[in-house]
Amino acid sequence: MSDQHYWEQVYTNRSVPQECSLFAQFVRQNYLQLPHHVIELGCGNGRDAHYLVDYCAQLTAVDQCKAEITRLQRTNHHPNLKFMVADFTHLPIVHQQYDLIYSRFTLHSISSAAQQRVLSWTKKAVTASGWLCIEARGYRNSLYQRGQSVPNESDAFIYNDHYRRFINLPDLVAQLKNQGWQIVLAREDQGFAPFAGQDDYFWRLVATLP
Ligand SMILES: C[S@@+](CC[C@H](N)C(=O)[O-])C[C@H]1O[C@@H](n2cnc3c(N)ncnc32)[C@H](O)[C@@H]1O
């Protein structure tokens, strides 16, 4: 379940924020360095990619939405920024290519099986001492358990025509530790992504490979 049609419509209507997210600013301030090669998984309208690219050496931004990525490719003039149409749950295996792997509000858009694929790809794709930076919805988010349950998928619901799978942060932390990641930050809180007058709970996770 990737909700591609839903997102295509959202971007066609341009009903999404244009300014960069607070998470992008947080990552830039705390983890991003100028020589870094970065990949963004699920870049949407490119708002965070356009911001982050000025603080790194090279940024590849991937999304499944062909029309939106085509628009971004046409209008992008930054030499270090590349937009690509791709399913980020099926990226080709590369070895130690990215210093920072960035995912905002995309891990909860995919199934748990797809998440496993992304995490195993991530481990191969990140450089030694590189960063994995994720922001997503967890159990404390106000939409948790709203809408219709998705069959055969824990904690996934269709609400307002839209798929969301709520990720239990302690479970993800345990899974990443098992895979050898060192957890630098794992926190579910308010203040991360206030939107339309509401300050809901989201979680942030930053991990590195020691
Ligand atoms: C909630 S939006 C977040 C967009 C952007 N990261 C932001 O914070 O504004 C989720 C995005 O993930 C993309 N996405 C979801 N599943 C995907 C997949 N399997 N491959 C590529 N893109 C995907 C959607 O097309 C959508 O643009």
109 lines ligand 1 (CB under 6 A): yes
Q: Which two tokens stand for residue 164?
A: 């969301």
Tell me the best of 8, 64, 69, 103 to mutate to test the pocket of ligand 1, counting ligand atoms within 8 Å of each CB and taking the most.
Answer: 64
Class of the 4-208 domain?
alpha beta
- Nearest C-alpha neighbor of 153 from the set 209, 110, 118, 191: 110
Residue pLDDT, tens place only, 163-173:
999 999 999 99
Phi, then psi, of 181 in degrees rounded to 5: -80, 145
Domain ranges of the chain: 4-208
- Determine the distance separating the centroid of ligand 1 and the alpha carbon of 134, expressed in angstroms: 12
The pLDDT of residue 41: 98
Ligand 1 centroid to Cα of residue 63, in Å, is: 6
Model-wide pTM > 0.95: yes
Q: What is the mean pLDDT of the chain?
A: 96
**Residue 37 Cβ contacting ligand 1 at under 6 Å:** no
With a cut of 60, say whether residue 206 has pLDDT above it. Answer: yes
Rounded to an integer, what distance in angstroms lies between the CA atom of residue 156 and that of residue 152? 9
Ligand 1: centre distance to CA 77 (Å) = 22
Does any ligand 1 atom lie closer than 6 A to the CB of residue 110? yes
